[in-house]
Amino acid sequence: MCAALAQDGGTRENWPHYGGRESAWRYSELSQINATNIKRLVPVWTFQTGDYMGGLQSTPLVIDGVMYVSTSRNRVFALDAASGKEQWQYVYTPQDSAGLIYGPWNRGVAVAGGLVYMGTIDNHVVALDQKTGRETWKVNVEDMKQCGCNITAAPLVVKDKVIVGVTGGDSAHRGYVTAYHAATGRLAWRFWTIPGPGEPGHETWEGDSWKHGGGSSWMTGSYDAALNLVYWSIGNPAADFWGGNRKGRNLYTDSVVALDADTGKLKWYHQQIPHDVWDFDTAYENVLVDLPVKGAMRKLLINVNKSGVTFVVDRTNGQVVNAFNLVKHFNWIKGVTETGELVGRNEPIVGQTMLICPAIGGGRSWNHAAFSPKSKLFYTTALEWCQNVTAQTEQAREGETYFGGAFVMKDPPGEKSYSHLDAIDPVTGKAAWTYRSKYPLLASVLATAGDLVFTGDPEGYFFALDARTGRKLWSHQTGSGNRGSSISYAVNGRQFIATPSGWGSAVAGLMAQLWPEAEHFRTGSSVVAYALAEESR
Amino acid sequence: MTALLLIVSAAWAQDGAKVFQQSCAVGYCHGTAGSANRAPRLAGRDFDRTYLLRVVEKGVPNTAMPGFQGKVKDEDLRAVVEYVLTLGGGARPVAAAPVAAAGQAAPKNLPGKELFFDPVRGTRCGTCHLVEGMGTAAGPNLAAKPDITAGDIERARSPHVETATFAGDRFPALVVSRKDGWVKLYDLTVAPPVLRTLPEGSVTFGPGTWAHGQAAGSYRSGELEKIAEYLRSLAKQ
């Protein structure tokens, strides 16, 4: 009986959504390219976007042989996915030359119903005609100078609505998730991530702190059609390192919220870090998997917190099933219980400089994990690094940076900073294998039915590991560091793997404090597509 | 450089360290003592004083570097420039400044301005009007009305808003342009207005029924009074 209900979260010819499918597995069912023949994988085309400042953080989408890719300054290209030939391009002109608190970077588009949707660096959402790239509608989510926010994440289309999150967690900002009618751009609903006066949860904020309390929604959510729930991760409270004027749990910051897809009403929430003072957002992907827990099938949601603590919850009600830590070096807490309670908080103290691990760049960055239903393993990167934090009091100035402290990157005690990619059991957190990297791994992971796991590194190597053992099987120098998300798709029976190449981002910028040579890592912005050499298929 | 100026610069650099700590080193920006984070490293680099001041005041267009003029006091901006100069070309960075107390130098906003851009209100004026470089320019410019009153806002008419019909859908529309067979218009069904581009031939227009009163209706008349006062003060600037 259970098998009949088996969940299908893999992609095939198309890569239709940011996370592959709405369940965010980043897993392809294609196996033409596999662990046996990968030695014959060769680059077949490269596309230079020309928009290289900030690198390329995108997840390309592929629908019916056409690839849609967005760049840091919101250019969108439609390419023939087999040849890389350009079909159209859209050049976005930001409203004015306002400063960019977050950016410039963009992580992808959504495609549905003949339109291509993108959030912009000046906080608009645009919808483009899928055939021509012509702008069909455009709406200003909020003036970016006022909210101190913009959009870097890919939108999520659910039925007749397009849903977007905004940055702003390090600004004097009050976050929200907004849904627009996909056809017209009209506002459908807005979920405020910080409850207003009279709403439940408002009492978890001291005084007026709720008005500028952060709670950004800066990554893309997931969707479960059977439950009609949208899962969104809500970021850290502001000010980041200082919480002296926002005593309380600060709901719904650092929480996963489950929203009714039609109304935006809160169904349940799970707060990972009450009253965060470390800038450890709950921000990343929500991977929706059905797996047995103690003999019973459960509908689970796996979320890696920026700290590296990973929470496994029941996605029907938010109940914690397990929690575990991905990183070796942590001292912000002593530990986390199986029920997700944090033990032994080590909070920054105003005016003191304290070594805190992991660093603000995270025990993992936003780059996504992958889940393979074949190996039943969850593949995620992790970062081992620390920082000296000096918390300071700060007054909120609407729309402006609101950080409450400063930091300097440091190596962990007794060890040079490094990074790893782990294959873990998603319920227990137990590692099947681990792959160690000298530099932070900051590109997303792709898993395929060919028993392969792909990711890339800051030096520009895009590589494949054996999904079962972690052994490196193949690598290719893409020309610039990898900070985007690779995908797989097929055109006319030929499987392709494609990866963005282009070094940049906030966390990439932090690297030079620990590895001075990283200051000279070259940026770029291209998509490289690979397939098996024709004759060897 | 005269001795006096040198002494003044040194004193400024001390103050500047404090300003830097509060406004530049924070978050993912320039890092403690300019060690670089999301923004470039400032330590160990030679900058021209005039260039630095211009960047600090005006920001760098199309980047994350904002202009601080009007947000931070002028003397503090000059001080922070002196401090950054001490980080350059071999000069030792001054020791980290003592942490500043809260409650300093927040810009004073007119209450009318706060109401105009009230973030808690879905249909604030700023959703449809652009003033002081902020908001959306769907409605007309309101910064050139030296005599505007609350009554003018209450009675604001919308002669250019028509009723558009497209694909069986009727909605209030404010046409922006017609070009190459396409019509660009603001769809005013709900705030925020949506700028739509539609094939000219397939949209028909009829007389408008949209009332500005409902757009501005979330404000009480006492509040409109304050907004009018704010708009008058803009016109006088």
Residues of A tagged active-site: 279
Q: Is the CB of B202 inside 8 Å of chain A's CB atoms?
A: no
What residues of chain B, 110 to 169, have a C-beta less than 8 Å from chain A?
117, 119-120, 122, 126-127, 133-136, 169
**CA pair distance A486, A121, nearest whole angstrom:** 22
Chain B CB contacts of A408 under 8 Å are: 31-32, 35
To the nearest whole number, what is the mean pLDDT of chain A?
95
* Stronger pLDDT, A537 or B234, i.e. the higher one: B234
Write down all domains in chain A, each with its CATH number in brackets: 27-536 (2.140.10.10)
Mutate to test the interface with B, among A350, A392, A503 (most CBs of B within 10 A): A392
Rounded to whole angstroms, the Cα distance separating A335 from A273 reads 12
| CB A513, CB A506: distance < 8 Å | no
Q: Is B235 on the interface with A (CB under 8 A)?
A: no
For chain A, say whether B200 makes contact (Cβ under 8 Å). Answer: no
Task: Find the CB nearest A406 among B32, B61, B135.
Answer: B32
* B25–A406 C-beta distance less than 8 A: yes
Q: Which of B64, B101, B133 sits opposite A101 (nearest CB)?
A: B64
Contact yes or no for A392/B18 (Cβ under 8 A): no
pLDDT at A536 over 80: no
**CB within 8 Å: A136 and B197:** yes
Give the number of residues written for chain A.
537
Name the minimum distance, in Å, from the CA of A392 to any CA of chain B: 6
Interface test with A, best of B109, B176, B194, B200 (most A CBs within 10 A): B194
Tokens describing residue A412: 């962990």
At B85 the pLDDT is 78
Under 8 Å between Cβ of A473 and A34 = no
More confident residue, B107 or A183: A183
Check CB contact of B195 with chain A, cutoff 8 Å: yes
- The count of residues in chain B is 237
The minimum CA-CA distance between A140 and chain B, rounded to whole Å, is 7
Closest CA in chain B for residue A392: B99
Q: What is the mean pLDDT of residues A461-470?
A: 98
Inter-residue contact A500 to A49 (CB < 8 Å): no
Whether the Cβ atoms of residue B165 and residue B206 lie closer than 8 Å to each other? yes
A66-91 confidence digits (pLDDT tens): 999 999 999 999 999 999 999 999 99
Q: Which of A463, A425, A426 has the alpha carbon at shortest distance from A441?
A: A463
Lowest mean pLDDT among A151-160, A187-196, A395-404, B190-199: A395-404
Residue B46: per-residue pLDDT: 66
Beta-carbon separation of A509 and B39 below 8 A = yes
Taking the Cβ of residue B179 and every Cβ of chain A, the question of whether any pair is shorter than 8 Å is answered with: no
Mean pLDDT by runs of 10 across the 237 residues of chain B is 44 71 67 59 69 76 68 81 69 32 42 92 92 92 94 94 97 97 97 97 96 88 94 90
Task: Tell me if B196 and A403 make a contact (CB, 8 A cut-off).
Answer: no
Closest CA to B216 of B138, B122, B130, B148: B122
Chain A residues lying within 8 Å of B106, measured CB to CB: 395, 397
Q: Tell me which residue in A97, A401, A512 faces B36 most closely, judged by beta carbons.
A: A512
Highest mean pLDDT among A399-408, A457-466, B1-10, B19-28 belongs to: A457-466
- pLDDT of residue A235 exceeding 80, the answer is yes
Q: Is the pLDDT of residue A291 over 60?
A: yes
Phi first, then psi, for residue A90 (nearest 5°) are -120, 125
